[in-house]
Amino acid sequence: MLARGGTIGMLGGGQLGRMMAVAAAQLGYRCIGYAPQGEAVAEQLCDGFFTNAWDDHAALAEFAAQCDVVTWEFENVPVATAQAIPADRVFPHPRALETAQDRLTEKRFIEDLGGRPAAYARVDSAAELAAAVDRLGAPGILKTRRDGYDGKGQWRIMSARDADALRLPDVPLIYEGFVEFEAEFSVILVRGRDGEMRVWDSPRNTHAEGILATSALPAGSVIEAQVAEARRLAEKVASALDYVGVLTLEFFATREGPIFNEMAPRVHNSGHWTIEGAATSQFENHIRAVAGLPLGDTHTVASKVVMTNIVGDDILGAQQCLSLPDTHLHDYGKAEVREGRKMGHVTQLER
């Protein structure tokens, strides 16, 4: 168990790290961040920050020497960077990054555990894309196997003609068949060092232009009927990875049951509602887990919760929402406002 006043290292400097730093401070810990040069909003709330390259071994060694434990706040931290931290001090284990960073590896891993991803095919050439569209049909989505998020690195394929006209990027790709779904939801769980697991209620997630727009509870009967099966898979994933911290799996609710979409080995946008809407937030429970503390209660404390992302210049008028009852604004402190950028979120509760 990490003693009061201990130091938690954080790989990455975005808004998830910022909210983790708040939770760490509430529990009596210091945070030190590490991310390459750029606007790192977590730095505003950290006691120290390294702005070095991911492969700067000397800087990583100095960073690790100042930390009692180390975690990460986004899934594109290079595996080699996480592996540079002593194995007994980095949580979750870097194998979680290794699994989640390649969509092909991730889907095969899920299948091995009995889960059902969307139908997919590996694509490394135009000929393989044509064969994938012929076998799986269209519409479908072509994705980069690595690094895509918030709709980036994705191309919607509506017909074989679209596939023929597309100039493929020179990176490994995967084609996913279209899933007819009734709703989208996520399972967010936390697993402690001792293997104890707790799970939050699953929200209904809606997206706009590939970016999460809202997460809402209650999620509705369609999702609630499929949550138990989805949770069982999430718990299998956490156990197989010997995971420590918050883990998120996203699903499509379909007529055939939950279809796995993707996993995120970190705190997640669809769990932001837990800050005000749950007895213990995802951020606090992640810190508790990596610090070796007892996990907190995850029950929902309101009859209705809606988390809405603030994207682009909508942040400029966001403070007006504070006139509404039981409404909570989180401004991520990003100086540069641009289209498609997550600038903050608002959570509204009904007790």
Q: Is 261 annotated as a binding residue?
A: yes
- 13 in a labelled binding site: no
Confirm whether residue 305 is marked as ligand binding.
no
pLDDT at 47: 96
The yes-or-no verdict on residue 249 having pLDDT over 70 is yes
CA-angle at 336, arms to 333 and 339, nearest 5°: 110
- Is the pLDDT assigned to residue 320 strictly greater than 70? yes
The CA distance from 305 to 298, in Å, is 14
Reply yes or no on whether the pLDDT at 150 is more than 80: no
How does residue 151 score in pLDDT terms, banded at 50, 70 and 90?
low
Q: Residue 280 has what pLDDT?
A: 98
Is 338 assigned a ligand-binding role in the annotation?
Answer: no
HSE, CB side, 13 Å, CA atoms: give it for residue 223: 20
296 known ligand binder = no
Q: What is the pTM of this model?
A: 0.95
Per-residue pLDDT at 148: 65
Cβ proximity of 262 and 107 under 8 Å:
no
Side-chain half-sphere CA neighbours of 5 within 13 A: 0
Residue 309 assigned ligand-binding role:
no
Query: Per residue, what are the HEC states of 152-187?
Result: CCEEEECCHHHHHHCCCCCCCEEEEECCCCCEEEEE
Which domains can be identified in the chain, with CATH numbers?
7-90 (3.40.50.20), 119-177 (3.30.1490.20), 183-350 (3.30.470.20)
The annotation status of 149 as a binding-site residue, yes or no, is: yes
Residue 143 marked as a ligand binder: yes
| 180 annotated ligand-binding residue | no
To the question of whether residue 153 is assigned a binding role by annotation, the answer is yes
Rounded to the nearest 10°, the torsion over CA 174, 149, 235, 10 is 130
Average pLDDT over residues 194-205: 98
Which tens digits make up the pLDDT trace of 30-50? 999 999 988 899 999 999 999
- On the question of pLDDT at 153 being above 90, the answer is no
Q: Annotation-wise, does 262 bind a ligand?
A: yes
To the question of whether residue 178 is assigned a binding role by annotation, the answer is yes
152 among the known binding-site residues? yes
207 marked as binding residue = yes
Residue 154 annotated as part of some ligand binding site: yes
Q: What pLDDT digit, counting tens, does each position of 108-145 carry? A: 999 999 999 999 999 999 999 999 999 999 999 999 99
